[in-house]
Amino acid sequence: MTRILFVCHGNICRSPMAEFIMKEKVRKLGLAEDFYIESAATSTEEIGNDIHYGAKTKLRRENIPFSRRGARQMSRGDYARFDYIIGMDSYNIRNILRIIGSDPEKKVYKLLDFTSRGGDIADPWYTGNFEPTYRDINEGCDGVIERVRGR
């Protein structure tokens, strides 16, 4: 089983979108039992809060099922629990490394590292625009699946 943790600043926009997009993708491929997928925050700002209404709206429009959840902060112990720890931007990566200390097993990536273009995923909490965020996350999740499947 491949265990993936998606991480963003607050765990209410980008990382839960990635969690539920990825869950739906692997379900459609018949691979749901081969993956364990969660999301978390690097900060404590939104702990316990549900997914941002804009993220929920976008997921509904794209027919991506999701469930109510409370944001959580990642911990040092997550490093041992997950095979991939995937941040949304460079700031997230710095904070992930601050939390876990180091990455000797090379588990930490940015989501767009799994695409041909790389880069950061814009935070829709600031932009208010969930469309480009959704497109980037969708593309990144496709790349993660390809990497895990060895393609």
CATH of the domain at 131: 3.40.50.2300
Q: What is the pLDDT of residue 111?
A: 98
Among candidate residues 13, 14, 136, 141, the one labeled active-site is 14
Among candidate residues 8, 78, 136, 141, the one labeled active-site is 8
Q: State the CB neighbour count (10 A cutoff) for residue 41.
A: 23
Q: Which two tokens stand for residue 119?
A: 């880069």
**Residue 72 a catalytic site member:** no
Tell me the pTM: 0.97
Looking at the structure of the chain, the number of domains it has is: 1
In DSSP terms, 5 is beta-bridged to 38, 85
**Residue 13 a catalytic site member:** no
Q: Is 28 exposed, middle or buried (0-12, 13-18, 19+ CB in 10 A)?
A: exposed
The residues, any chain, with a CB within 8 Å of residue 114's CB and separated by 6 or more, are 140, 142, 143, 144, 146, 147
Among candidate residues 103, 113, 123, 142, the one labeled active-site is 123
**Residue 8 a catalytic site member:** yes
Question: Domain range for residue 112?
Answer: 2-148
Q: What is the pLDDT of residue 151?
A: 65
pLDDT tens for the chain, 151 residues: list them: 999 999 999 999 999 999 999 999 999 999 999 999 999 999 999 999 999 999 999 999 999 999 999 999 999 999 999 999 999 999 999 999 999 999 999 999 999 999 999 999 999 998 899 999 999 999 999 999 999 998 6
